[in-house]
Structure 1
Amino acid sequence: MSSDSRVWLVTGASSGLGLALVEAVLAKGERAVATVRKPAALDDLSKKYSADQLLVLQLDVTDNEAIVRSFDAIEKHFKRLDVVVNNAGYGVTSDIEATPDEISRPIFETLFWGPVHITQQAIRFFREVNPKGLGGRVLNISSIGGYAAQPTLSFYNAAKFALEGFTQSFTKEMPPEWNIKGVIIEPGGFPTNWSSANMVTIPPHPAYPEDSPSRKFIQMRDGAPAIGDVHRAAKAMITISEEPNPPLRLQLGTDAWGIAQGMAQKTLDEQNKWADLSHSTNQDGYGLEILQYLKGAI
């Protein structure tokens, strides 16, 4: 195994997209650090690949001290890191009125604060441990629900929206010479454990009727096919990780792509419809010319 081959860190690697990505990385001849809550879940993979190519670490992404220890272990074991993929997560489906704080708050620890702390460590590692200018990539696994929210997924969507805003912001903070890029990955439907074993489901709030928008959405969601292929998604993520100038967002699947297109168009249509009201709040003497000063924010 060449010491020049790239090193990946993938959280939530025990199943689904995370496992498929680790397998694809290893099959490509690159190296992987796979983090899981229960290392035994990757025993078969550990038997197939040597420690020179695969490092399995136990990690709860809500434990900041454990995150720091993991990066120390990566530095000691591989002495470099090229791509970090924040993939660990789970879902919560419920009406907002039916969701207690003990359910809604922890999801932010896993879906938002975990990736934030890992990204902070990744940036430091890319800058201070890797050879100067090598940089690195952070692929934050969001969801198309992190761009277009839906009924019954309020807290999941909110956490993913937060992750997307964080990713967009930190990417803009990076000096170009560091060569550190962030990419938001927005999967559509995939046949994984996300909608079953990795989903917390809360009974409907009694005030909502059977024909409420939430119930209709659940029926639509449950009837829609999960069209994604996790192995093809893994290949797409490897491809985007190799881009010198990757996009801010990448949708995985025609369903995710279509929802993003529709949401973007709806936003533009509404913006144009209400443009006069938006502009009416300016002080006298200010108009569209003000946009020339805002190029860095656009």
Structure 2
Amino acid sequence: MNPVNTQPYTLPQDAVWLITGCSSGIGRSLATLLASKPTQRLIATARNPSTLTYLPSHPNILKLALDVTSPASVDAAFTAAAARFGADFHLDVVVNNAGYSLSGDTEAATEAEAHQELETLFFGTARVTMRAVGVMRQDRDPATGRFRGGLVFNISSLAGLCAFPGHAYYHAGKFAVEGWTESVAREMKGEWNVNFCIVEPSGVKTNFEGHGKARIEPHPAYASEEMPARKLEMYVNMGIKSGVGMMEPAQVAEMLFHIASRGECVPLRLPLGGTSWKMAKAKAEGFLRDLELVKELSTFGGQGV
């Protein structure tokens, strides 16, 4: 397979960052961090730009409306960014952070709920990423003629690695982002130096229990407290209330900036937080054990078909 992220990535002093979903959570924390960096330039976006008033007015900061579910909105945001920064416009880091969680009994999910979740998590990420790649792969340093490259952070989740009851369409969106990103990363020409990082945080203290979380109407067949989804809801709610093992959004923001600025090769996948790392490792080990169990079946009795 074509290798990915083969060159160390160097963050330019005047890097331009574009972040989706800056109204709260990880997006807001990262935008706040970048606003404190005098030479970094920021394109902060949200469906409602009035939620971006926490950012100062500054020539290096552009606040834009961007609804990732709307191709026209994505096009307009890229056009506005190019117009704002002029002839030297380049796009160095894109953070696809916009999204929300859809939880509940999958049998009761409506077509509209399912489509909207996938449209936001997956198709929104895909359309912003490909617009960004179109800019990054053509961008050369005028002094050297070498490609400047770029970095795309696609915010997935532990939910893109492991599936739990009661979140089927959220998992579908995050699993799709993971496979799609890996495929696109392998399409890149090495000299372009366009890098991808799939970020897989576990619990983060965001507003997912507020407007960042949508719920499917309960289905009576799954209402019992003994049902797996109900048990998981209980444990999740206990964890959110206690805050144990939950990361602060600022910690995630600091790590993203560290990955971009450390001058090393970018990891394709980054399980973020001890819980995510441990569960990723456990899943990989379990997968290897399961492979051994089905080896005879997979190879048609060892015939190696």
Q: Which amino acid is the alignment partner of residue 96 of structure 2?
A: N
Alpha-carbon shift at residue 4 of structure 1 (Å)? 4.5
Instruction: Pick from 52, 57, 64 the counterpart of residue 64 of structure 2.
Output: 57
- What is the distance in 1 between the residues matched to 2:234 and 2:285? 25
Alignment of 1:149-164 (within 5 A): 149-164=163-178
Q: Report the Cα distance in structure 2 between the residues aligned to 1:217 and 1:263, rounded to whole angstroms.
A: 18
Structure with the higher fraction of residues in helix conformation = 1
State how far apart, in whole Å, the 2-side matches of 1:206 and 1:281 are. Answer: 45
Moved more, 243-252 or 172-181: 243-252
Displacement of 1:46 in angstroms is 2.9
CA distance in 1, matches of 2:135, 2:19: 15
Task: Work out the CA distance in 2 between the residues paired with 1:281 and 1:21.
Answer: 53
How far 1:194 moved relative to its partner? 1.3
Q: Which residue of 1 aligns with 2:181?
A: 167
Q: Is the 8 A contact 1:33 1:55 kept in 2?
A: yes
2:237 aligned with 1:237, yes or no?
Answer: no
Q: How does 1:30-45 map to 2 (within 5 A)?
A: 30-45=40-55
Q: Which of the residues 14, 23, 39 maps onto 2:32?
A: 23
Larger deviation, residues 121-130 vs 10-19 = 121-130
Residue 149 of structure 2 corresponds to residue 139 of structure 1: no
In structure 2, what is the Cα distance between the partners aligned to 1:60 and 1:32?
Answer: 17
Partner of 1:262: 282
From 86, 97, 100, the counterpart of 2:96:
86
Q: Which runs of 5+ in 2 are unaligned?
A: 1-11
| Counterparts of 1:102 and 1:254, CA distance in 2 | 35
Unmatched 5+ residue regions in structure 1?
288-298
Contact 2:139 2:147 in 1 (8 A): no
Q: Is contact 1:75–1:129 with CA below 8 Å preserved after alignment? A: no
Partner of 1:292: none
Given that residues 109 and 217 in structure 2 are in contact (C-alpha distance below 8 angstroms), is that contact kept between their aligned partners in structure 1? no
Could you tell me which residue of structure 1 aligns to residue 293 of structure 2? 273
Letter in 2 for 1:167: T
In 1, distance between residues paired with 2:267 and 2:256?
A: 12
Aligned residues: 280
How far 1:28 moved relative to its partner? Answer: 2.5
Check conservation: 1:81, 1:130, Cα contact below 8 A. Answer: no
RMSD after superposition: 1.7
- Which runs of 4 or more aligned residues in structure 1 lie more than 4 Å from their structure 2 counterparts after TM superposition? none
In structure 1, how many angstroms separate the alpha carbons of the residues matched to 2:56 and 2:124?
25
Measure, in 1, the Cα distance between the counterparts of 2:13 and 2:103.
44
Offset at residue 195 of structure 1 (A): 2.5
Partner of 1:67: 74
Whole-Å Cα distance in 2 between the matches of residues 245 and 272 of structure 1?
Answer: 33
Structure 1 equivalent of residue 191 of structure 2: 177
* Equivalent residue in structure 2 for 1:212, among 227, 230, 247: 227
Deviations 1:27-78 (A, max 9, x none): 133111000111111123134xx1x210000011111122122112222223
Contact 1:123 1:180 in 2 (8 A): yes
1:99 and 2:109 are equivalent in the alignment: yes
